[in-house]
Structure formats: C-alpha cells, structure tokens
A and B are shown apart, each in its own frame.
Chain A
Amino acid sequence: MNANENQIYHDSAIKHVSGKSVYINDMNAPSDMLHGKVVYSPYAHAKILSFNLEKALQVKGVHGILSYKDIPGANQMGPVFHDEPCLAENIVNFIGQAVFLIAAESKEIAAKAEKLIEIEYEPLIPITTIEEAIANNQLLSVPRIINRGNANDAMQKAKHVLKGILKTGAQEHWYLETQTSLCIPDEMNEMMVYSSTQNPNETQAIVAEVLGIPRNEVIVEIRRMGGAFGGKETQGNHTAAWAALLANYTKRPVKIHLFRDDDQVMTGKRHRFISDYEIGFDDEGMITAYKVNLNADAGATADLSMAILERAVLHADGSYFIPDISVIGKAWKTNLPSNTAFRGFGGPQGIAVIENAIDRMARFLKKDATEIRFRNFYGITDRNTTHYEEEVENNRLFTIFEQIIQSSDYHKRKKEIAEFNSKNEFYKKGMALTPVKFGISFTTAFLNQAGALVNIYQDGTVLVNHGGTEMGQGLHTKMQQIAALELGISHEYIKVNATNTSKVPNASATAASSGSDMNGMAVKNAIDIIKLRLIEIAIDEFNKKKHPNPSNAEDIVFHNNFIFDKLHPDRILPFKELVMMAYLQQKSLSSTGYYKTPNIHYNRDTGKGHPFHYYGFGMAVSEIQVDVLTGNHKILRTDILHDTGKSINEAIDIGQVEGGFIQGVGWCTTEDIKWDTNGKLLNHSPDTYKIPTVQDIPADFRTTLLKDAPNYNTIRQSKAVGEPPLMLAFSVWLAIKDAISAVGNHEIEPDFSLPATNEVILKSIEKIKLSGK
C-alpha cells in the first residue's frame, strides 16, 4: 500500500479546524427538547429527612422533577459493584451526589425551580481523608496482595533500609467537553441515547437497568468525545442514566450538559494515594527487598476502584526486578465523589512510590539515581519475572536507556547543572531520568475482547463499525488505516462510523490503552472474512480463461485499489468492480469481526498470572529550574524516547506521547486538589484548578519514537500508546526534587509529595535551609 498510508491526518482534522465536528451538545436539538438539571447534595454526609417538590413543580416551563421514587427500574448505576444509587434515597454520601432531576424548557427555568425545592438534611460527620477512613475502618473490599519471596526476611538482612511515606494527589480529568447526554424516547419503551461515553455498552446496560427495560430497547451512540482520559469510562453512564430517566418521564428529548463547576464537583478524579514503603538495598544500590502499602481514596462508592488498585499493585515494581517484595493494596471509602479511571489507571500511583524510593536511595548512597535505576532494571535473560510471575518479554529498557543517555547528553549536562548550582544561590537546577514499563491489557481478563462490523457498499466504499470510541486519541483514524491496508484500497474510500451499540454489541470500554490493539484485530478479522469471499470470486473470474496454471487463493493480493494474482499480475480487477461482481453473484459484502487477546489470566488469590499481553516502554530525561525564593519552577528541556512498536500512525502516536506527558506534568506540578474538612471541593473551576498552558511545556521538548521495534502478535506489529507516556512526567517531578535537594548540597532528604506545587517546593526548601543552619 502507499507508503504514506501511515502518514494520514486525524480523520476529523478538517472538521475540527473548521468547527464542523459535531459533539453531542452541538447536535441539532429536536424542537421539543428539554434541558435536564441535576440537583445535588450540598453535604458530604447527611440524612435526608424530608423533601417537597410542590413549589418547584409550579414553575412555568418545568416538565418534571424526579426523585428516587420515580425511577421505574433499579436505583443503581454502579458499574462493577452495584453500590451506587442513581438518585440518593435516605442518605447522601458526598457533595455532588445527585438527589433530584429537573426537566425544563431552559436551563434558567431549571435553575429557578431548583431554588424552590424544599429539602431537609440532617448533617452527619463526613470522612474526607484517607487517614480518617483508615482510622474508622472504612475498607472498601478485600485488599489486593502480591508477595514474592520473603520481604520481611530480606528486609532484615538488607545492608541498608529506608522507610517513608509518599502522598500522591488527586487529578481532575478536565476534558474540555463536560459530561453530556441527549436522550430521545422512541416507540413504547425504546430509548435512543447519545452519550459522551467511553463505554457505550455499559451505558446501554445502566440506562436499561434504571428504566427497567431490556437492553435491546436501548441504543447508545457516540461519534466523538471532547476528551475523556478515563473520566467517561464509567461516569459518562451517570449523565446518560439521568437524561434517560427524564426523557422517559416527560416523553420528550432531554439533554444534560454539565456546567463546568458542576462537572468538577460531581465527578470522580484520579485516586489520591497514601503509600508507606520500606526499601532494602546494598552498597551498590541493588534493591534486595521492598515492602509497600498502597492506600487509595476510593470515594463514596466502588466504581472501578478495585481494578485501579489492582493495576497500582501490579505496577508497584516500576521497571525494576525486586527479588523479595510484598505489595498490599487497600481502597478506602470516604465521603467524596467516587474516584474513577484516569489515564494510567493506578499505574502512576504505584510507580511513583518506587521511583521516589530509588531517588532516596541515591541520595543516601551519594550516587546518581539514574545509575541505580539502570542497575535494577529487569534483565533480558534473568531477573526478568515480575512479582506476579509474568516474564518481561521483549524488554526494551536497555535499548532505550542507551539511546536516551546519548541523545540527551545526560552526563555532560549533569555536570553543567552541578556547576550552575554551585554558583547560584537563588536558582537551582535539577535533572532526572525516569523509565516506564506499563502492562497492556485489561487486568479483568474477560474484558479483553472486541467486535467489529465492516460493510462494503456496491460503489466500493467501506463503512467500518467497531466497538471502540473516539475521544481524540485517533482510534478511528487508525481503524481507517488498518482497513485501508488490509483491503488494499485508499483510505478515502473508508469511513469509520459513530460507535453504536446496535452495530457492535457487548464491547468493552475504550480504555487500558487497548483500543487500537483489540478493535484493530476485530476489524482485520471482519475484513479477512469478506476478503475470503472476494478472493473466491476473483479466482473464478481469473480462471474462466482456462489458463494452464490457474490462480490460487494464496496468491491473490489486494493492493492499490486492485485485486490481482501476484504470480500473474495481468490477472487483475479493480476493487470496485470486484465488489459489484460479488453483489451480483449474491455474496455478502458485510461481516462481523471478533478478537480476544490470547493467553491473559490472573489469579487474584495467589497474586500470580499473566495479566498483560505485553509491556509498553519509554524513558524521559527532564531538566528543570527552581526559583528558591518562591518555589516556582520551569521545565528547561525534556527528551523522550518511547516505544510504540511499529507505529501505525507516527504523528498520532507522537501526539499521544506528548499529550500524555504534559497531562502527567500537570498532575505532578500544578494540578492541586483540595477539599475542606466538610468535604467541599475548593478547586471547582479552572480559576483555581490549573492544568498546563502552552507556557508550561518544556522550553526544549524533544520526542522520538523508538526505531525498528516491531511488536509481536499485535495488529500490524504496533503497540498501545495511550497511557504509558503519562508516567514519563516523573522525570519532571524528580528533577524538581533534585533541584530542591541541591539547596542542601544533596545531603538532606527533601520533604516531597505529588503534586510538587510551588507551595510544596518552597516549604521543602525552607526546611532544608533551617536544618542547614
């Protein structure tokens, strides 16, 4: 196929830049559409004693106000555990929990009605921190534990032991498009749901559940999301369920598009963690033992917390072989919105702890942390099994390390930085190299399946349906490319359809970075089936002429919009013509496709198995400068080298790497979330919640994809790329720590946590200065 088939632009790029991309809030609203509003709890923990909707219902233009009593089906919208009420009944468990739903002719009318709702709460004491949750025994579910060897013994025998506690903060997704759903009631019970969701299949299930109807009455469709990052993996379901309830009640179309502040208040975030650890090592910095307790803030309900915790536990090793290790993960219930998936899905929280521990080891041993990292990397032929006994196959850590040390000029710059620091009192520079090794697959094994439906029409154009959703990551573009490559036709003839549960049923969420891997295989499978039919027709056609050596199926090639016999290139048919022939010969031009990731299993009880199909690898070197007097920092340079296998679309992959990295930088630096002691979110708008701007990216920002690195047993030898790069931001985080440490000549271990806001940085510096005095 044309060499440039892997250079195509995002399939919506032209629509994006000309304002023609339609998001749900932009769809032509049916003329009788109503606006839905969610009335939520102002208390983090309270009993609902009574309520009265009479006055609010009198407002002109209000078409219905629903409480839990008006839910025809189950009052339930939890995705895994069924522990999350759709509307609060007698008790509210966080600020932002939905209590009533209003349908009105305008948002203003709905707001007016909201003020007239009478409700009496009896406030109870809320639990708003992990520490309180632990003290009050608010364990969400059985802990997730993985042990290898005997960490206690090994710790006792270790030459050196360091202990500590690391806090990592929450993170708001801050997708540009807030949660949105438009529901249109149809015949009888049918409901058409347009929902900004990463998981249309589950949205369908939950809408059916709250409406008390079977799933075949509900269709969920999503063309594109304005960003998601995990925030619409389960929580998109909520808005859809609320809009569906209102649409069902009023028998009119209802749209809910959350106001930014409401979205920030109501929805869950990346899980905060408090982790305590103990690390044992020798004089050379070889890790001999590691014990870590990962404590996650689950929020009020389970949502995906246990799966997220599991991924944190599975990634507690970072990129390092640790012979004796004990990892215990616990999720705790608090009176905050239920925390949820966010790019990395617990991985970042697990990895942060070991990276910080290694950083401490380096300071303790007076060595460069990079050297210690290198020394402890998983081996190629030995020291190459993880704590859950999966072999780290096709380990690219060493290849990447060698290349990036060179390309980033690491050693020379490290010296220059030391020199700069010795000459400057009020500015300090720091540098760090951090790796990522990230397991690809859903750790819940059965989720590793995908479906597709490929239709070829009589004019030779192709419509690809698959179960994945487009949130900006370029999934549809990659599917278009895969279809083009497999059918040997130009991508212009191929369109990828909006994701629709009536086209491809039972799909898993587009998550775990697995979208392209799994859906790509399913699309290929569908195309392979159609191709077999087309090949049969082509052979019949070619062999009509009774050649002495007739064409064989295995020699038929699809290329450049033609089908031909590679041994006899004169036997050739335009793709379009062949399609028409197939139609006239009454052959189906449509097929479903299916894929399940092979050999994925994991035993939660033993903590052993093969949960990942393969690993994604990458490394980053970042240099930063800290203003010692204010704690402000800036990123001077970042070099990234990331492994995306044989990239299907390099530009899209680089976009994922850079975008993921910057999102990680936000989490590690300025994105600070505070709740007050009443459980009230203080940073509920971009006024106080600060994601990176264009000014916050590295002044010198170099991203490269690892060359000549085909992956095995994946679609077109590619690798998943969505999540791993986020963790490369630890290079910035630890470079900041390195700069702080320079204030005390690297002799004092700085206080440190994540995010490293200017507040964290300055206080840490001040403490070092005091202890130096």
Chain B
Amino acid sequence: MKATSHHIRFILDNQWVELDFQQSENIRPSTTLLNYLRCLPSHKGVKEGCAEGDCGACTVVVAELNTNNELEYKALDSCLVFLPMIHGKQIITIENLEQHIGKEIQLHPVQQLMVENNGSQCGYCTPGIVMSLFALYKNHHKPEKEVIEDALTGNLCRCTGYKPIIEAAKHACIHQGKDHFSEKQQEIKQQLLNIKKDNTSILLYHSEQLYMLPQNLNDALKLKKQYPNAVLIAGATDTALRQTKKGEIIPQIIDLSQVEELKNIEITDKSVIIGSSLPLEKLKSGIEKSFPALFNILKVFGSLQIRNIATMGGNIGSASPIGDTLPFLFACKAVIKLQSFDTKRKIPIEDFIIGYRKTAIKTDELIVAIEIPFIPENVILKSYKVSNRKDLDISTVSVCFRLQLSNDKKVKEIIIVYGGMAVQTLRAKKTEAFLNGKTWNKQIVETAMEILYNEFTPISDARSDKEYRKLACRNLLMKFWDETK
C-alpha cells in the first residue's frame, strides 16, 4: 500500500474539520455522525428518534462529488453514518440553512414554507423533515407528488398527518434549487476536489478500534488479506445497528464506501454488472427500463435516506432471509463476482447464499460486483413485496417470479423465489416442478397454489404469524397469474 493517512477531513456546514481519533476519548471512528454533531455546542437541532434509520429525525444532507465531479445533495440518516464515511464530503445541517443578512435572519425557502403551511406541531421531527425537503429542493424542480412522498417516506411525523408538509414541499421547489449554497458551490467543489485528489487510503487507530478507509480496490483487497477478521461495510445500514442498537464495538472495520471501482454500473450486450458498493438509489435510477422487477422492489426498499447509502453488496452480504434484492437475483440467475488479493472467482447467487445470514465468501474476499444476465424478451419477470406497512418496512413475504411460456401457453420454465418463508431465500421447487410443462391457466395455478401453500414452514414473529405468510405466499402466485394471463 502507498502512504496512508490517519485522519479524515470534511466540511461541516462551511467549516473545515479534521479528525484524528488516536487521542480522543469521546469519539471513536465508528461514532455516528448524529452523536458527533450532538456533542458539538451548536448542533443540537439534529435529533435522535430511533437510532436505527426508521424515523428520519436525524436526517442531514451531504454534498458530495459525483463521477462527473459535480456536487450532489443527498439526505442521510446520520444515526447510521460512521464518521469516516463523510470523509471528503460536505455535511449540511439544519443550523446552516438560514442566512444571516446583517441583523436579519432569512429562512431558507423550505423552512419558510414549512412555517407558512403549518408543517410543524411538536417540532421534534421537523429538523429532519426540513433537511429532507432541502435535499428535494436541490434535486427537483416542481416535483410530482410521488417524488415528494418518496423524499419524505423516511421521516416519521406523529403529529401533523403530513399533509401540510407535502404542501410546503410543493410550494418550495419552484426555485430550481437556487439558494445561498448555490453561490458557494464552486468553492466547496474545489475544496472537495483537493481532498479527492489525494487518494491515499486512511487508517484510523483508536484504543478500541481500527477503522480502515481504503480509497481503491487494491488497498481494500490488501487490507482484507492482512485483516481477515475485519468486518466489511459498504453503506453500513445493516452493520451500524450492531453498534447503535446492541452497543457492540466492532474492533476492525474495512469501509468500502469510498472505493470508486466498486461503484460502477457496466452494461454489456449480455448483462448488467453492478458494483457491489453502488448506492441503491443510484442503481434504481439506472435500471428502471432494463429491470422493472428490480426497480419496483427498490421503490419500496427502506427509505430514500437508506437507499442513498445502502448497497446491493451489503444486501447480499447480509444474506438475510428478507433481503429484498435476493429473490430477484435468484430468479435472474445472477452471478456474484468475488475477489481477493490473490484470486478472482464467480459464483451463482444460489450457491453463494448458504444459510441464515451465511454466505460462501472466504475471509480474504470481497464481493466486487453482481452480474445480472439480461432477460430474454419472451421471459416475464415480476417481483412483489408484502409488508405490514407498504413503505419503509421489512418484507413479511417477498417473491420474484420468472416465467417463460411456449407458443401453446405451456410453461417452458418457471422460477419462483421467496423471501421471508424460510431461514434463507428459497426457491419453491416443488411448485416449479408441478407447473413446468403445464398449461398456464387459472385452474392449474389454483392447484399449484395448494402445493405452494405446503411448500414452506415459515415462522411467526413480530411482523406476522406463519399462517398469514403461507396464505400470502400462496396468493402471490395468483396475483402473478392475474397480471400475466
């Protein structure tokens, strides 16, 4: 590895900050951005409502350079962000939105319209909501209702019933994103470019923790070889909960969020190759046309704040039975590309997921990319997610169907993959076997539903009981039939 550096640099509002964790008692590298901000004397606007990414009270906006070196503004849940993840970025907080002109304070348009539309009651959710609106303001001109709602899904408000907040959003976003940040944009961009140029990997030492922030793939692979027990993170939306909810301090972390080579999306004539660390929101905008079945799942995946950092590599790496991209990847016969410092290999997703939160990865390997073969035109692919609440909820049951019919309406190939029905993502092989070669009609589907009903033995938990899972699992086949008949 080339020279390494031992501190992180970022811009907080308009101030430069350099943090070196070696001496500090109060913060360690994996201190969350939320806790860091709230320790500062003047940043108590940001709130903790849950410490698990489910309420958005902690929302801040990060401005970062994209691949074209343009600034992009994204809302994040600061309760899930480890400090090194903001290296080389600008953090914008609620305290920085207003402008001081002489003695006058001028509210930002999103703030002003929240006031005028009575968008706050108790006010506790409000800073987070305003920050989500600010990101919306920077990214959308006259957004559709759907876009507004998507931008606010990650912000719970228990008081207002949301309507005035939607109104505020509608009226605010007419200025094409112009505000006092626009004026400083060039300056900030330059400062961030300077950090980006220096792409030495960062090792942060602290008495309880070694936090590694490689800036390129080679360094990442080297570090993983050297520290086989280090925990990999990409967006940390899964891993951070170990700390924020269970109080665990992870001794060694390799953070892949700044490895540019892992964030590509490559389209060949046969497949799409998705970098493991590409944030899901980016992925979502890239595959709307090519993979509507994935797009539909990503639409109801967490919230915008979550999708802005969560990754597919992390979704696969978690190997959770309710990982929402997994049924889709199974049905697409996706291939996982793994790499260690010394080797490269490819493995079909079905062989990669081997149990409850268990994968076939070796300790020195990373998932570098996911290769998804294009679906032939005569193949239908559809996914469904059933959850207690439609948005920002974990699947009770999820499924992806892949169907190819012959000219005489017979099933040539069917793949049915369920999440939430077993300890891991699983194919309904008995049902598939029954359907193969049969005519695709309602009667056959109804018979298949009975097989499907008995194919899995799901559990009862906080989300649902097993009977509901079995019923929904069974009925989703009918839904698929209804939509493809």
- Which positions in A face B, CB cutoff 8 Å? 9-10, 12-23, 26, 28, 108, 111, 173-177, 224-229, 259-261, 425-426, 471-474, 629-632, 634, 651-652, 654-655, 658-663, 670, 672, 674, 682-683, 685-688, 690-697, 701, 703, 757-759, 762-763, 766
Closest 9 CB pairs of A and B: A19-B45, A472-B122, A226-B124, A16-B123, A19-B94, A472-B121, A658-B161, A662-B161, A686-B54
Question: Which of these, B45, B52, B166, B472, contacts A630 with CB under 8 Å?
Answer: B472
Quick check: B468 and A177 within 8 Å, CB to CB? no
A426: chain B residues at CB < 8 Å are 478-479, 482
Q: How many A-B residue pairs have CB under 8 A?
A: 228
CB proximity of B98 to chain A, nearest CB, Å: 5
A539 → B minimal CB distance (Å): 41
Partner of B111, one of A17, A176, A177: A17
Give bound CA distance, A108 to B249, whole Å: 11
Partner of B163, one of A20, A261, A658, A763: A658
Question: Contacting B476 at CB < 8 Å: which of A259, A629, A654, A662?
Answer: A629
Determine the residue in chain B with the shortest Cβ distance to A627. Answer: B479
Contacts of A224 in B (CB 8 A): 122-123
> Which B residue sits closest to A259, measured CB to CB?
B51
Name which of B68-76, B336-344, B458-466 contacts chain A: B458-466
Task: Flag if A655 contacts B388 (CB, 8 Å).
Answer: no
| Beta-carbon nearest neighbor of A174 in chain B | B158
CB closest chain-A residue, reference B463: A688
* Option from B107, B111, B160 in Cβ contact (under 8 Å) with A658: B160
- In Å, the complex CA distance between A9 and B111 comes to 13
Q: Which single member of B93, B165, B389 contacts A696 (CB below 8 Å)?
A: B389
Q: Is B152 interfacial (CB-CB < 8 Å)?
A: yes
- Chain B neighbourhood of A651, CB < 8 A: 118
Whether the pair B46, A229 counts as a contact (CB closer than 8 A) is: no
Contacts A17-B126, A225-B122, A659-B121 given; does A695 touch B159 at CB 8 Å: no
Q: Note all chain B residues with C-beta closer than 8 A to A21.
A: 123, 126
**Inter-chain contact A18/B122, CB cutoff 8 Å:** no
Question: Besides A9-B115, A227-B121, A260-B50, 11 other CB < 8 A contacts?
Answer: A13-B114, A23-B47, A173-B158, A176-B57, A260-B49, A630-B386, A658-B160, A682-B461, A685-B245, A759-B388, A759-B465
Interface check B155, CB cutoff 8 A: yes
List, in ascending order, chain A residues with CB within 8 A of B165's CB.
694
Measured between beta carbons, the chain B residues less than 8 angstroms from A472 are 120-124, 159
Contacts of A229 in B (CB 8 A): 158
Q: How close is A327's CB to chain B, nearest CB, in angstroms?
A: 31
Across-interface contacts of B57 in A (CB, < 8 A) = 176
A425 to B119, CA, bound (A): 40
- Measured in the bound complex, the distance between the Cα atoms of B94 and A26 in whole Å is 14
Interface string of B94-128 (1 = CB under 8 A from A): 11011000000101000110111011111111110
Task: Find chain B residues with CB under 8 A from A260 CB.
Answer: 48-52
Within the complex, the shortest CB–CB distance from B164 to chain A, in Å, comes to 7
Contact A695 B55 (CB under 8 A): no
Classify chain B's interface size: 35 or more
Stretch from B218-226, B305-313, B391-399 forming part of the interface with A: B391-399
Closest B residue, CB atoms, query A684: B462
CA distance A634 to B390 in the complex (A): 9
Partner of B386, one of A12, A13, A425, A758: A758
A672: chain B residues at CB < 8 Å are 388
**Would you give 28 A-B contacts (Cβ < 8 Å), ordered by A?**
A14-B107, A17-B127, A18-B45, A19-B45, A19-B94, A174-B158, A176-B158, A224-B122, A224-B123, A227-B159, A472-B120, A630-B475, A632-B390, A652-B118, A654-B118, A658-B163, A658-B164, A659-B161, A693-B156, A693-B162, A694-B149, A694-B155, A694-B165, A695-B391, A697-B161, A701-B163, A758-B388, A758-B396
Closest to A13 in B: B115
Chain B residue at minimal CB-CB distance from A176: B124
Cα of A652 to Cα of B392 in the assembled complex, Å: 28
Measured between beta carbons, the chain A residues less than 8 angstroms from B166 are 694
User: For residue A23, which residues in chain B have a CB less than 8 angstroms away from its CB?
Assistant: 47, 124
Compute how far the CA of A177 lies from the CA of B44 in the bound complex, rounded to whole angstroms. 13
Min CB–CB distance A642 → chain B (angstroms): 13
B122 x A226 contact (CB < 8 A): yes
Query: CA of A18 to CA of B159 in the docked complex: distance in angstroms?
Result: 18
B260 an interface residue at 8 Å Cβ cutoff? no
Check A697 against B163 for contact (C-beta < 8 Å).
Answer: yes
List residues of chain B with CB under 8 Å of any chain A CB. Answer: 41, 44-52, 54-55, 57, 93-95, 97-98, 105, 107, 111-112, 114-116, 118-127, 130, 149, 152-153, 155-166, 245, 247, 384, 386, 388-394, 396, 461-465, 467-468, 471-472, 475-476, 478-479, 482
In the assembly, what is the distance between CA of A17 and CA of B110, in Å? 9
Also in contact, A177 and B124, with CB within 8 A (given A17-B111, A630-B472, A694-B165): yes
Closest Cβ of chain A: how far from B113's Cβ, in Å?
A: 9
**Which residue of B is nearest A690, CB measured?**
B389
Chain A residue with the shortest CB-CB distance to B396: A758
Per the bound structure, the CA–CA distance linking A763 and B118 in Å amounts to 40
User: Nearest A residue to B54 by beta-carbon distance?
Assistant: A686
Query: In the complex where A259-B51, A694-B149, A694-B152 touch, is A12 in contact with B161 (Cβ < 8 A)?
Result: no
- Report which of A16, A634, A686, A687 forms a contact with B156, defined as CB distance below 8 A: A686
Alpha-carbon separation in the docked complex, A20 to B94 (Å): 9
CA distance A674 to B463 in the complex (A): 9
CA distance A634 to B247 in the complex (A): 38
Q: A762 to chain B: which residues have CB within 8 Å?
A: 468, 471-472, 475
Min C-beta distance of A304 to chain B, whole Å: 20
Q: A14-B115, A176-B47, A630-B476 are in contact. Are A663 and B158 (CB under 8 A)?
A: yes
Q: Are B55 and A176 in contact (CB under 8 A)?
A: yes
- Please, which residue of chain A has its CB at the minimum distance from the CB of B97? A18
Is the pair A629, B124 in contact by a Cβ cutoff of 8 Å?
no
**A16: which B residues are within 8 A, CB to CB?**
114, 120, 123, 126-127
Cα A697 to Cα B152 in complex, Å, equals: 12
The complex places the Cα of A690 from the Cα of B303 at a distance, in Å, of 14
B479 touches A630 (CB 8 A): yes
Given contacts A176-B122, A694-B153, contact A19 B93 (CB under 8 A): yes
Contacts of B93 in A (CB 8 A): 19
Q: How far is the CB of B165 from chain A (nearest CB, A)?
A: 7
Closest residue on chain A to residue B393 by CB atoms: A690
- Choose from B51, B394, B471 the contact partner of A766 (Cβ within 8 Å): B471
Residues of A within 8 A of B482 (CB): 425-426
CA distance A473 to B247 in the complex (A): 35
